[in-house]
Amino acid sequence: MNTLNESQYNAVMYNSGPSLVIAGAGSGKTRVLTYKVAQLIREGYAPNSILVLTFTNKAAKEMKSRITEMVDPRMARYVAMGTFHSQFSRILRDEHEYIGLTRDFTVYDTTDSKSLIKSIVKQMGLDEKLYTTNVVSGRISAAKNRLITPDNYGDKEGVTYDVLHRIPKVKDIFREYVERCKIANAIDFDDMLLLIYKLFVQHPEVLEKYQERFQFILIDEYQDTNLAQYKIIKLLADKHHRVCVVGDDSQSIYSFRGADINNILQFQSNYPEAKLFKLEKNYRSTENIVKAANSLIKRNSHRIPKTLYSDNGDGHLIKVYNPENESEEADVVVRQINRINRDENVSYNNFAVLYRTNSQSRVFEKKLRESRIPYAIYGSLSFYQRKSVKDMLAYLRLVVNPKDDESYLRAIKTPSKGIGDTTLERLRNAALERGVSLLEATDDLEGTEIKAAAGKRLIAFTEGIRKLRAGMSELSLIDLTKRILDFSGLMQYYSADNQDNDDALDNIDGLIKNITDYVEEKGKNDEIPTLSSFLSDAALQTDADKEEDVNTEKVSIMTVHASKGLEFDYVFIVGAEEELFPSPRCVADDEIEEERRLMYVAITRAAKRCFILYTNKRTRFGKDIYPQRSRFISEIDDNYLEMGNSFIERNRPTHISTSSYNKPTYSNPNPSLHKLVKPSIGLGAMASSDATKVKVGDMIEHSHFGVGEVLELIDAPSGRQMKVNFKNQGIKLMILKFVKFKILS
């Protein structure tokens, strides 16, 4: 009770059944999770019977570090804590016989998956402009996250979307992709969920084993779980119902990744005996920031009611600036950063610039450079995605798993082994005909039309990999890594009279240091480090785990999505305009609600000051547009807003706006001197001509949701609405005057 408030304490101490902890922004959810694990150990739960699932390795590492300070470190070590993927990967490796793979299977990242898909599309002779890797990989990933396999893709997913978008062969690509992964002894990230679910459903004895092992399950950021994660947890907790989920429905912003907010909203329906705890005290922000965020998010209808409060004093009002264009927008931000840095002696690391899309960063980078303000783009390419690192990883992975064709192709091409694309294509065809890997196909090159000289090079490469593999049982991990590095020739390749490759050499050196650190860490825990286990851990590192220090003397600039989980004293939210924030792709009410949650996340990143900016003119796709300020500004209670005074009012251009919204007007002739007077948002007509003709029972086609049937037409204060059941997206409620569609029948 000395270190927890009453709500936190009650959430920690209740362990008799399922519980839902709604943790508002800055309310100390990590503290609750760590104390709860310590309390469970105190109550007699064996550490390895406690399963804690997170969405980032950094979150798991932080929690385990805190738990170590509260309980015997030897006990904390054995808590089953990590990301969904890391924990399920361990189970799949332990139960690999059930899924038809060896224990040393490879985990394909997004780059590997897309490379394989591109190869399959080419092999099938399909139009690569239609069957782009992004589109096809997105379709396959979405299917897997809904627990759909190639066998039931047509039944459950339906092919209407694919046919309408002229990609009817996605199902065939999906089937070939799965088969090629199996031959390569590989899985992708989505498979970790799909295969775990299939394992538990098809083998009840395996499910029972893990139900017995995991006596208590805790899940962080539950609002970000998808259908597969929900069903897996339901299976694991079905026997004892000792499950605690922690999250905030108001921060559910990842539906584009498959996250389903209904998992947290319906938790009490799925577990009727569940206790609800609300963490409503915000320890981060001032009262004005918290109240402004409350006033915005309460406009969402799909939410669990809560009211955040703060004891940090009123603080400043949220200041809203209306610069003329994006260049002036960046000027305003840079001037404010300079002023606060100079006058209040505030370090640059206390500032963040948040935007809706990555394309907005350019002008801020330019202005910050011109002002000699150090900055870092948060969320850029992670270490394990850098080219030279992936080049070295390909050799390491191939030694562990010789069937890994994607690693084989990358390794044999970098550095070049004098083997051309024609030779590799013939080798691939031979491998596909025999149902073996590329490396195995080199054992018999007869009938492949591969020339003798190229054949000798292939065989020499294969023999080299097999010799290295033989050394796995003889050499230490560090010595084995050095031998593989020598064999690869990458150091010479990147050193060859090319100063531009200094970063590549540093990256490879960084990888070797990571392996050295890994060996030392395993030694502390009396574990034997292996190349296989290192690669498994490395494969599970995501962009969210990138080692970026936001506490360095740099201004952080990033998307709002990337800012979730972070906090800064001073936050600038830029581009708060209709058709930008909220996104122009949002037409349905549930999509607008997610955009509103995104603005809520942006505001609640701020501890001391929050600034919101919107422009009169913005250049997009080479054209000048004149946007309406974001509806979200008008939805914030004006008691918590103040109009900035560092811009000059200008006359509106007389030419026609390309925006769908009207320019806001102010009843106050000099808004720079007073609180913000919110305009009525004039929404221009966006609908197609079919909007006046549609009737119940019509089949319509929407550019984003596809084909659906009109179930109901509703007269509402916001305008006439229609309820549509889309074949691939479910039921959507849409305001007719905003939605573009055409009637099919």
415 upstream amide cis, omega within 30 of 0: yes
Inter-residue contact 603 to 296 (CB < 8 Å): yes
Active-site pick, 426, 605, 609, 629: 605
**CA–CA dist 115, 428 (Å, integer):** 14
Q: Catalytic: which of 87, 106, 133, 251?
A: 251
With a CB cutoff of 8 Å and minimum separation 6, the contacts of 573 are 354, 355, 560, 581, 599, 602, 603, 610, 611, 612, 613
**Any idea what DSSP says for residue 559?**
E
Measured between alpha carbons, how far is 320 from 614 in angstroms, rounded to an integer?
8
List, edge to edge, every strand of the sheet that includes 243-247. Answer: 80-83, 50-54, 216-219, 243-247, 19-23, 275-279
E strands, 618-672, are: 618-620, 623-625, 641-643
Closest to 651 measured CA to CA, from 612, 614, 617, 613: 617
CA distance 318 to 641: 5
Contacts for 522 with CB less than 8 Å, ≥ 6 apart: 528, 529, 533
Q: Which residues contact 539 (CB under 8 A, 6 or more apart)?
A: 106, 107, 109
Cα–chain center distance at 73? 31
* 93 vs 105: CA distance, rounded Å: 8
**Under a CB-based contact definition with an 8 Å cutoff, are residues 216 and 182 in contact?**
no
Q: Is residue 260 annotated as a catalytic residue, yes or no? A: no
Please tell me the distance from the alpha carbon of residue 663 to that of residue 320, in angstroms, as a whole number.
16
**Exposed/middle/buried for 286, CB within 10 Å: 0-12, 13-18, 19+?**
buried
DSSP string for 211-264:
HHH-SEEEESSGGG--HHHHHHHHHHHTTT--EEEEE-GGG---GGGT--THHH
Helices (H), 344-420: 361-370, 387-400, 405-413
Alpha helices in 71-169 (DSSP H): 73-76, 84-94, 110-123, 133-145, 160-164
DSSP designation for 4: S
Catalytic residue list contains 251: yes
What is the H or E stretch that residue 569 is in?
strand 568-573
605 is written with which tokens? 């990143």
- Residue 180 and residue 226: Cα distance in Å, rounded? 26
SS3 of residue 430 by DSSP: helix
Of 29, 242, 291, 631, the catalytic one is 29
Q: Which residues contact 655 (CB under 8 A, 6 or more apart)?
A: none
Among the listed residues 30, 68, 160, 729, the single catalytic one is 30
Strands 351-355 and 555-559 come out as: parallel
Q: How many CA atoms lie within 13 A of 340 on its CB side?
A: 22
Give residue for tokens 């034997």: 528
Catalytic residue flag (residue 202): no
Which residue in the list 221, 405, 548, 569 is annotated as catalytic? 221
| Active-site residue, 30 included | yes
- Can you spell out the DSSP letters for 657-691? PSSSBPPP--SSS-GGGSS--PPP--B-----GGG
Active site annotation includes 29: yes
- Indicate if 220 belongs to the active site: yes
> Catalytic pick from 95, 191, 220, 248?
220
For the annotated catalytic residues, the residue numbers are: 29-30, 220-221, 251, 605
